[in-house]
Amino acid sequence: NAGVTQTPKFRILKIGQSMTLQCTQDMNHNYMYWYRQDPGMGLKLIYYSVGAGITDKGEVPNGYNVSRSTTEDFPLRLELAAPSQTSVYFCASRLRQGLSTAHFGNGTRLTVT
C-alpha cells in the first residue's frame, strides 16, 4: 500500500525556471492538499482539492498552480521559480470524514538559486 507518493524527492531550480511537483495517492481519497514548510516554520496550505476538477486556494497560493484531472493525482506547478519558493513541499490526502484521516507524502525538498 503506497499511500501518498511525491516525486521528485529533491530538486534544484534556477530562478525563472518552471517545474511540476507530482503527487499521487492510491487510497481513493477525494480530498488532496499541498503544503509548504519553510525552515523553522509550520506547514502552510498552498492549494487544495475536494475532488476531480475542483481546486481552491489556501493560505499561500501565489506563484503556484494546480490541477486535478483524476482522483489519484494532484500536481503542483511552479511557473517562474523564485528564491522565496525554496521550501519543503508536502502533499496530503484524506477522506471526506475528517482531518485526522489525512496521510502525508514524504515531501519534495526544493531549492531555488
Partner 1 sequence: DQQVKQNSPSLSVQEGRISILNCDYTNSMFDYFLWYKKYPAEGPTFLISISSIKDKNEDGRFTVFLNKSAKHLSLHIVPSQPGDSAVYFCAASAGTGANNLFFGTGTRLTVIP
**Min separation Cβ 106 and partner 1, Å:** 5
* 64/90 with CB nearer partner 1: 90
> Which residues form the interface with partner 1 (CB under 8 A)?
4, 31, 33, 40-45, 48, 50, 56, 58-59, 90, 92, 96-107
The answer to whether 112 touches 83, Cβ cutoff 8 Å, is yes
**Min separation Cβ 18 and partner 1, Å:** 24
* 43/81 with CB nearer partner 1: 43
**Min separation Cβ 79 and partner 1, Å:** 23
The answer to whether 22 touches 75, Cβ cutoff 8 Å, is yes
- Give CA–CA dist 105/54, Å, rounded: 21
* 7/17 with CB nearer partner 1: 7
Tell me how crowded residue 86 is: count the other CB atoms within 10 A of its CB: 17
Please report how many Cα atoms fall inside a 13 Å half-sphere around the Cα of residue 72, on the Cβ side.
Answer: 5
- Give CA–CA dist 103/113, Å, rounded: 30
**Min separation Cβ 96 and partner 1, Å:** 7
* 29/105 with CB nearer partner 1: 105
